[in-house]
Amino acid sequence: MAIRLTRRRVLMGATATAVAPIPLSLEARTPKTHDIGISSFSFVPALVHARIGDVLRWTNTDLAPHTATADMLGWDTGTLEQHEAGEIQVTEGMESTYFCVFHPHMTGKIRIVG
């Protein structure tokens, strides 16, 4: 049985296609902000999974000043006093391990995923 194409059927099909949901894989991904606390001389969490374009935000709740500084000094939040925050955007090829300049025993890692 052949389906007869009419102008109405073509327009209905075009309209249905235009309003069909876009698969998630084709949608633009909104960057996510990952909050990392600085508390009791530690980065919490110490390991963050992030994608390129995401933002990492460190907030210092300790009395002492801290930084989040890439091991090879490729990026740095600058000094964060108590209740201050600093942000870095995740970029391709960025350094993924970091420490606090004032307290080198404080370390963290960023795992860049898909």
CATH number of the domain to which 50 belongs:
2.60.40.420
Q: Bridge-partner residues for 88, per DSSP?
A: 56
Beta-bridge partners for 50 = 112
CB-count exposure of residue 33 (10 Å: 0-12, 13-18, 19+): exposed
Does the residue 2 lie in any domain? Answer: no
- Residue 53: what pLDDT? 97
Question: Is the whole model's pTM more than 0.85, yes or no?
Answer: no
Q: Is residue 67 part of a domain?
A: yes
Rounded CA separation 54/29 (Å): 10
Q: Considering the domain boundaries, does residue 16 fall inside one?
A: no
Residue 18 is assigned to a structural domain of this protein:
no
Tell me the one-letter amino acid at 70. Answer: A
Number of domains in the chain: 1
| DSSP alpha helix (H) spans, 1-114 | 7-18
In a domain, 7, yes or no: no
Q: What pLDDT does 28 receive?
A: 73
Q: What are the 10-residue block averages of pLDDT along the chain, 114 residues in total? A: 62 55 62 98 98 98 98 98 98 97 98 92
Residue 97, in any domain of the structure = yes
The pLDDT value given to residue 96: 97
Range of the domain at 102: 25-112
